A and B are shown apart, each in its own frame.
Chain A
Amino acid sequence: MTHLRLDSLTKHFGDVKAVNGIDLAVDDGEFLVFVGPSGCGKSTTLRMLAGLESITDGTLSIGGTVVNDHPPDERDVAMVFQNYALYPHMTAAENMTFGLDSGLFDRSNHDEAVAEVAETLGITDLLDRKPKELSGGERQRVAIGRALLREPEVFLLDEPLSNLDAKLRVEMRTELLELHRTLRTTTVYVTHDQTEAMTLGDRVAVLNDGRIEQVDPPQRLYDYPETRFVAEFIGTPAMNVLPVEIRDRGDALVVEREGFELALPDADGNDVPTGGAVGSSGTFGVRPEDVSIVSGRARDAPAIEAEVNVTEPLGDALLVHCTLGGAELKVKAEPRSAVEPGETVALAFDEERLHLFDDDGNAVYHSSHPPDDDRGDSNPHEPVEATGSQ
């Protein structure tokens, strides 16, 4: 059931197009994450949802009602800000309740509700403290408590964890997930951290330059990026991308560049680029974890040779930077591989995990098929009723 619907939502600041026509449907109870580099329009979009930013064009509806012109307080949303937005002169409890009473003097009693929310978040002992007596994590909890107390239709969270240290961030992530599992309130969450996006979202919308590049569940986003931007943005270290020529070798299509030629495996015959792509240029993509170093004896397949430049031990893996035909290629190798800079190694690619993008950056080929691909060739920019989300 669609809860939030964005139709060609657009925001211009003077001549600057911050958000450039976003179409999106968010299901009731869904946890949707906006992720993208800074300036991609993710926060602006969230602020349009909240009513803190006017909508230049397009429509926004919440629960079937168009709310473009509704002031923020009539939208029944609650927002958690990056800097927590706590009033320094009020205690935690006062911060949570301030604004619930509209008038200057009428202050109704919210003690019970506050106690309940505080219990949930484990901040019962902190209610009488002022923000400056709270740690970053505690402030964040109060800010979340503030939002919970309002029992809104929609939670909006704007980079709520980015001011916390790494360890706390991971803890809060888990807590947010549990909270969402209990409450099942529709949530829109903005972050620039792709790990956070992947771990939290039922679906993740990747934004770039004011547009949605792709909206999908995290694993699908990772396995089947629809654009080169998504391919490079999701996953660390980023996917290797190599400019290539596409050629017909007779038995198969091959991609080639200096010192490197690879036949594209025929994944159920569906996704191989059509003959029309032959002769054109494109970008070949493979993730570092889908490349392996082949030990000397097992070289049966036509090996790809690359020279090692630098090695970075990551602990659970060894990241090897190689040069392949003048381009850099990163390989996530076994942690204790004996690889030295200057050495030439043979590489093998996981044939299930190869990607090809055309010059416009759109995916034209994935070497394997999405599991239940009932979406056909649907344009990712169309509003999509979520399929694999719940």
Chain B
Amino acid sequence: MATNTDTATETAPSRRLRTRLERAFNGDLFVHVALAGAIALVALPLVLAVIMSTQSTTEVYEVTNLGLGSAGLSNYETALTEYNLTRYMINSAVMSVVIVVGKVSLSLLAALALVYYRFPFERAVFTFILLTLLVPVPVRIVPLFQLMADLGWANSLLSITGPYIASATAVFLFRQHFMSIPESLVENARLDGVGPLSFLVRVLIPMSRGMIAGVSVITFIYAWNQYLWPLIVVSDQSKQVVQVGIKFLQGASQSGLTQWGLIMAGAVIALLPPLAVLVALHRPLLETFAIQQK
């Protein structure tokens, strides 16, 4: 209807052109081309980084050289060995796994209590947990740093994992999921007097596999990508995580030239684990996010 009035004032040829454009725009080919183009553009920096990570420093300095370089994988080797990236990767992996396991376990227990137990001040406890969303690290960074020093945790695994193993988001997601489990399944267990831990281990956890996987992916990526907090609380380079480790690479230079090939290799290495986790587990991740949105 509206298009009629719009086009009424136009001349015939321009109307025909418009219609043709509109039809092309609304066709499937347009979607495929535009989408492929957009995705390629988003991936372009990464692809370039991978290419340049194979180039020697001199090749990198020939700005427009787009071929795979002569350095091959040697930049990766140098980054991992001489620049200690192996150590940083291990530190990051340990930190991330500890955070994932800790957060999932603690949150499962808390959600079990919140959903299946009757106790005083239930709502208040849940609100108390949710309110921590208001205090991300930067809001409490100074006292938290002092607290780590007072506890003697500075420079330790504890300092980069401890503050992260409890989370409002994970408790919230598990709670939502538990509440979506049909009541009759819970009642079935009640009729037999199944105990809470047995119920958790034999019913809730098997029935929450997707959600646990989703929360684990979110947590792993989040933990792996930490930068500010490890930068502050870890001063011993050998204890540092890989994200901050990239920063150390920036100082790498060879006869006055920054070794960008080497830095790109480091960046690619630091990206691989979360990327692999995402690719492997994107399905549960997407389902989990679908719930978080509600």
- Contact code string A71-95 (vs B, CB < 8 Å = 1, else 0): 1111001110111111111100000
B47 at the interface (CB under 8 A from A): no
- Listed stretches B28-36, B159-167, B183-191; interface member: B183-191
Contacting pair B188 A102 (CB below 8 A): no
Q: Which residues of B contact A100 (CB under 8 A)?
A: 192
B256 at the interface (CB under 8 A from A): no
Contacting pair B192 A73 (CB below 8 A): yes
B204 to chain A, nearest CB (A): 10
- Contact code string B159-183 (vs A, CB < 8 Å = 1, else 0): 0000000000000000000000010
- Listed stretches B193-201, B226-234, B263-271; interface member: B193-201
Chain B interface: which size bin?
Answer: 20 to 34
A338 at the interface (CB under 8 A from B): no
A77-B191, A99-B191 given; A104·B198 CB < 8 A: yes
Which of A78, A85, A86, A102 touches B194 (beta carbons < 8 Å)? Answer: A102
A143 to chain B, nearest CB (A): 9
Q: Which residues of B contact A98 (CB under 8 A)?
A: 189, 192, 194, 202-203
B117 to chain A, nearest CB (A): 15
A83-B182, A85-B184, A88-B207 given; A72·B195 CB < 8 A: no
B193 to chain A, nearest CB (A): 3
Tell me the bound Cα distance from A98 to B192 in angstroms. Answer: 9
B128 to chain A, nearest CB (A): 27
Q: Which residues of B contact A83 (CB under 8 A)?
A: 182, 184
B209 to chain A, nearest CB (A): 8
B206 at the interface (CB under 8 A from A): yes
Contacting pair B201 A99 (CB below 8 A): no
Contacting pair A73 B184 (CB below 8 A): no
A83-B184, A104-B197 given; A89·B207 CB < 8 A: yes
Which of B182, B191, B203 touches A79 (beta carbons < 8 Å)? Answer: B191
B192 to chain A, nearest CB (A): 3
Contacting pair A99 B197 (CB below 8 A): no
Which of B191, B198, B203, B209 touches A73 (beta carbons < 8 Å)? Answer: B191
A52-B187, A98-B202, A103-B198 given; A85·B193 CB < 8 A: no
Q: Which residues of B contact A77 (CB under 8 A)?
A: 191
Contacting pair A99 B184 (CB below 8 A): no
A55 at the interface (CB under 8 A from B): no
Which of A72, A81, A88, A90 touches B193 (beta carbons < 8 Å)? Answer: A72
Tell me the bound Cα distance from A57 to B209 in angstroms. Answer: 42
Which of A50, A52, A87, A104 touches B185 (beta carbons < 8 Å)? Answer: A87
Q: Which residues of B contact A81 (CB under 8 A)?
A: 184, 187-188
Contacting pair A85 B182 (CB below 8 A): yes
Contacting pair A99 B188 (CB below 8 A): yes
Q: Which residues of B contact A72 (CB under 8 A)?
A: 187, 190-191, 193
Closest residue of chain A to B206 (Cβ to Cβ) is A89
Q: Which residues of A contact B198 (CB under 8 A)?
A: 102-104
B177 to chain A, nearest CB (A): 13
Tell me the bound Cα distance from A85 to B182 in angstroms. Answer: 8
Tell me the bound Cα distance from A52 to B188 in angstroms. Answer: 10
B152 to chain A, nearest CB (A): 37
A92 to chain B, nearest CB (A): 14
Contacting pair B193 A50 (CB below 8 A): no
Contacting pair A99 B194 (CB below 8 A): yes
Tell me the bound Cα distance from A82 to B189 in angstroms. Answer: 16
Q: Which residues of A contact B190 (CB under 8 A)?
A: 51-52, 71-73
B183 to chain A, nearest CB (A): 9
Closest residue of chain B to A53 (Cβ to Cβ) is B187
Closest residue of chain A to B202 (Cβ to Cβ) is A98
Tell me the bound Cα distance from A83 to B197 in angstroms. Answer: 25
Tell me the bound Cα distance from A90 to B184 in angstroms. Answer: 15
Tell me the bound Cα distance from A52 to B207 in angstroms. Answer: 22
Q: Which residues of A contact B197 (CB under 8 A)?
A: 104
The interface centre, meaning the residue of B188, B192, B194, B207 with most chain A CB atoms within 10 A of its CB, is B188
Tell me the bound Cα distance from A281 to B15 in angstroms. Answer: 77
Contacting pair B195 A99 (CB below 8 A): no
Q: Which residues of B contact A78 (CB under 8 A)?
A: 191
Tell me the bound Cα distance from A367 to B187 in angstroms. Answer: 48
Q: Which residues of A contact B192 (CB under 8 A)?
A: 73, 98-100, 102, 150
- Contact code string A33-67 (vs B, CB < 8 Å = 1, else 0): 00000000000000000111000000000000000
B180 to chain A, nearest CB (A): 13
Contacting pair A85 B202 (CB below 8 A): no
Q: Which residues of A contact B184 (CB under 8 A)?
A: 81-85
- Contact code string A99-110 (vs B, CB < 8 Å = 1, else 0): 110111000000
- Contact code string B199-243 (vs A, CB < 8 Å = 1, else 0): 001110011010000000000000000000000000000000000
Tell me the bound Cα distance from A331 to B197 in angstroms. Answer: 62
Q: Which residues of B contact A90 (CB under 8 A)?
A: 206
Q: Which residues of A contact B185 (CB under 8 A)?
A: 85-87
Q: Which residues of B contact A86 (CB under 8 A)?
A: 185
A70 to chain B, nearest CB (A): 11
Q: Which residues of A contact B201 (CB under 8 A)?
A: 104
Contacting pair A87 B207 (CB below 8 A): yes
Tell me the bound Cα distance from A83 to B188 in angstroms. Answer: 11
Closest residue of chain A to B194 (Cβ to Cβ) is A99
A5 to chain B, nearest CB (A): 21
Closest residue of chain B to A78 (Cβ to Cβ) is B191
Tell me the bound Cα distance from A223 to B279 in angstroms. Answer: 69
Q: Which residues of A contact B203 (CB under 8 A)?
A: 87, 98
Q: Which residues of A contact B195 (CB under 8 A)?
A: 102-104
The interface centre, meaning the residue of B195, B202, B209 with most chain A CB atoms within 10 A of its CB, is B202
Contacting pair B191 A50 (CB below 8 A): yes
Tell me the bound Cα distance from A91 to B59 in angstroms. Answer: 61
A103 to chain B, nearest CB (A): 7
Further 10 A-B residue pairs, CB within 8 A, beyond A52-B190, A79-B188: A51-B190, A72-B187, A72-B191, A73-B191, A73-B193, A79-B191, A81-B188, A83-B184, A89-B206, A103-B198
A sample of 10 inter-chain contacts (CB < 8 A) reads A50-B191, A51-B191, A52-B190, A78-B191, A85-B185, A89-B206, A90-B206, A99-B188, A100-B192, A104-B197
Q: Which 4 A-B pairs have the closest CB atoms?
A: A99-B192, A73-B193, A85-B184, A89-B206
